[in-house]
C-alpha cells in the first residue's frame, strides 16, 4: 500500500501536475526528506536515490528484502473504511479497532486522498507509465486537523467521520481514501522523532461500502453489518443482532454454565452446572465462547467459583 508525494519543484510546467506543495513539505518534513526519489517504508526505513540508466528493476532487490521483513509484522490495530459518494462529496467513516490493550498516547489516524494510475512521463528515460496512488489531499494535515486515537483496550473501536470533495480534475473512478495509524510520540536513541506506521488501509471510493450486506441498514448502524438482517432483531439486547450473535445473553448468565434453558430463554441453574464447572476446573476445556464460568467475576476460574455456584444452586438456582 502506498502513496506518492509529488514534488511541485520537479513538475514540468507544460505537463500534468499535482501541486500540493504544502502537503508535500509537511509530510517530507517528518522524514527529513532532502533528495528524491525517497522511499519511506512504514515510516521508519528509508531509501534515497533513483535508478541508474533507467534500470528501475534494480530497485527490487533491496526493497523486496525490506518488504519481506515488514510484511511479517503483526499489528494491534485494524482499520475499516466505510463511506458513500453523494454528488461530488465523499462522506466517510474510518473505524479503528484494537485487538489488544495498548498505550495509544500520541498515536494518530492519518487520512489521505490519492488518485491511482495517472499516466505520466518519466522524461529522463522517455518512458510513460501509470503512476500509482498520487497524493491529492492530506485531510489530517496540521495540528488542528489531527485525529488522536484515544481507545486503549482490546475490543474497543473508535470512529472518525468526515468528508472531502472530489475535484473536477480528478478521475473519481480512481480516487482512493487512505488511512494509516501513525506514531507521533516516540523519540529514538538520537533524540529524533520516529513516525512508525502501525497499520494502513485504503479503498477506491466506489468500493468502500456503506451497507456491505445490502440489508438497507448502513454499516455504522447495523447490528450485524456482514449478515443481512433488515429488521435488526436482538432478543437479548446486547447490540449484536441475533443472526450474528453467538451468545444469547438471556441464557448464558452467571451460573448457567452448561447453557440449558426453558422456553422463553429462561436459564436453568442446577446440579448439572456444578458438575460442568467441576469438570472444567479439573480439565479446562471451553466448549463454547458463551459460557460464563467466572461466577465470581474476578477473572479467574477456580474452586471459589464452584463454591459460589454450589451455594447458588442450594439457594434455588434461578
Partner 1 sequence: MIKLLFNLTSRFFIIIFGPFLLAQQLNEHDIAYNELREVVETASRSQQVVWLEDFTGID
CB closer to partner 1, 100 vs 233? 100
254 lies in the site for partner 1, by CB under 8 A? yes
**Which 183-222 positions form the footprint of partner 1 (CB under 8 A)?**
197-201
DSSP letter string, 40-64: EETTTEEEE---GGG-GGGHHHHHH
**Which 162-181 positions form the footprint of partner 1 (CB under 8 A)?**
180
For residues 250 and 265, give the distance between their C-alpha atoms in angstroms, rounded to a whole number: 6
122 lies in the site for partner 1, by CB under 8 A? yes
Q: Which of 20, 77, 140, 215 binds partner 1 (CB under 8 A)?
A: 77
CB closer to partner 1, 185 vs 254? 254
Q: What is the nearest approach in angstroms of partner 1 to the Cβ of residue 9?
A: 7
CB closer to partner 1, 131 vs 223? 131
Torsion on CA atoms 167, 169, 174, 180, rounded to nearest 10: -50
C-beta atoms surrounding 124 within 10 Å: 10
Closest CA to 11 of 114, 136, 120, 113: 120
CB closer to partner 1, 53 vs 300? 300
Please, are residues 108 and 229 in contact by the beta-carbon 8 Å criterion? no
CB closer to partner 1, 19 vs 216? 19
End-to-end CA distance of the chain: 55
CB closer to partner 1, 217 vs 269? 269
CB closer to partner 1, 32 vs 227? 32
**Which 32-61 positions form the footprint of partner 1 (CB under 8 A)?**
33, 36-43
Closest CA to 124 of 33, 55, 63: 55
Q: List beta partners, residue 83.
A: 92
* Stretch near partner 1 under the rule CB under 8 A, chosen from 87-95, 156-164, 208-216, 291-299: 291-299
Torsion on CA atoms 91, 92, 93, 94, rounded to nearest 10: -160
CB closer to partner 1, 88 vs 287? 287
2 lies in the site for partner 1, by CB under 8 A? yes
3-state secondary structure of 228: coil
Q: Which of 22, 226, 279, 311 binds partner 1 (CB under 8 A)?
A: 311
Q: What is the nearest approach in angstroms of partner 1 to the Cβ of residue 229?
A: 25
> Quick one: which H or E segment has residue 261?
strand 261-262
CB closer to partner 1, 87 vs 246? 246
> Quick one: which H or E segment has residue 313?
helix 303-314
Residue 296 is classified by DSSP as: T
DSSP letter string, 133-186: SEEEEETT-SGGG-EE----STT-EEEEEEEEEPPTTS-GGGEEEEEEEEE---
Q: Which residue has the cell 465523499?
A: 90
Q: List beta partners, residue 164.
A: 90
Residue span 78-117 as binding mask against partner 1, x where in contact by CB under 8 A, dash where not: x--------------------xx-----------------
67 lies in the site for partner 1, by CB under 8 A? yes
* Stretch near partner 1 under the rule CB under 8 A, chosen from 27-35, 82-90, 140-148, 239-247: 27-35
Q: Where along the sequence are the contacts to partner 1 (CB under 8 A)?
A: 1-7, 9-12, 15-16, 18, 24, 27-28, 31, 33, 36-43, 67, 70-71, 73-78, 99-100, 118, 120-123, 131, 134, 180, 197-201, 254-255, 281-284, 295-297, 302-304, 307-308, 310-312, 314-315
Amino acid at each position: 500500500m502506498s502513496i506518492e508525494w509529488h514534488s511541485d519543484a520537479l513538475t514540468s510546467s507544460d505537463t500534468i501536475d499535482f501541486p500540493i506543495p504544502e502537503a508535500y513539505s509537511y509530510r517530507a518534513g517528518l522524514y527529513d526528506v532532502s533528495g528524491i526519489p525517497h522511499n519511506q517504508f512504514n515510516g521508519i526505513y528509508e531509501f534515497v536515490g533513483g535508478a541508474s540508466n533507467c534500470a528501475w528493476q534494480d530497485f527490487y532487490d533491496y526493497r523486496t528484502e525490506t518488504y519481506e521483513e515488514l510484511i511479517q509484522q503483526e499489528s494491534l490495530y485494524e482499520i475499516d473504511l466505510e463511506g458513500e459518494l453523494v454528488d461530488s462529496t465523499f462522506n466517510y467513516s474510518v473505524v479503528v479497532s484494537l485487538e489488544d490493550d495498548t498505550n495509544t498516547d500520541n498515536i494518530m489516524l492519518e487520512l489521505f486522498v490519492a488518485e491511482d494510475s495517472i499516466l505520466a512521463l518519466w522524461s529522463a528515460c522517455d518512458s510513460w507509465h501509470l503512476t500509482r496512488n498520487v497524493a491529492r489531499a492530506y485531510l489530517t494535515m496540521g495540528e488542528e486537523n489531527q485525529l488522536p486515537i484515544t481507545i486503549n483496550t482490546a475490543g474497543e473501536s473508535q470512529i472518525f467521520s468526515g468528508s472531502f470533495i472530489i475535484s473536477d480534475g480528478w478521475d473519481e473512478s480512481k480516487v482512493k481514501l487512505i488511512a494509516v495509524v501513525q506514531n507521533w510520540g516516540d523519540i529514538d536513541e538520537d533524540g529524533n522523532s520516529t513516525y512508525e506506521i502501525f497499520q494502513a488501509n485504503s479503498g477506491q471510493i466506489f468500493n468502500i461500502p456503506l451497507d456491505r450486506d445490502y440489508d438497507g441498514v448502513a454499516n455504522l448502524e447495523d447490528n450485524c453489518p456482514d449478515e443481512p438482517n433488515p429488521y435488526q432483531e436482538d432478543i437479548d439486547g446486547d447490540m449484536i443482532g441475533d443472526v450474528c450473535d453467538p451468545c444469547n445473553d438471556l441464557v448464558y448468565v452467571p451460573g448457567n454454565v452448561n447453557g440449558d434453558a426453558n422456553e422463553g430463554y429462561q436459564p436453568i441453574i442446577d446440579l448439572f452446572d456444578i458438575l460442568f464447572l467441576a469438570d472444567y476446573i479439573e480439565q479446562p476445556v471451553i466448549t463454547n465462547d458463551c459460557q460464563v464460568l467466572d461466577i465470581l467475576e474476578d477473572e479467574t476460574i477456580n474452586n471459589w467459583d464452584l463454591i459460589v455456584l454450589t451455594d447458588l444452586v442450594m439457594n434455588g438456582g434461578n
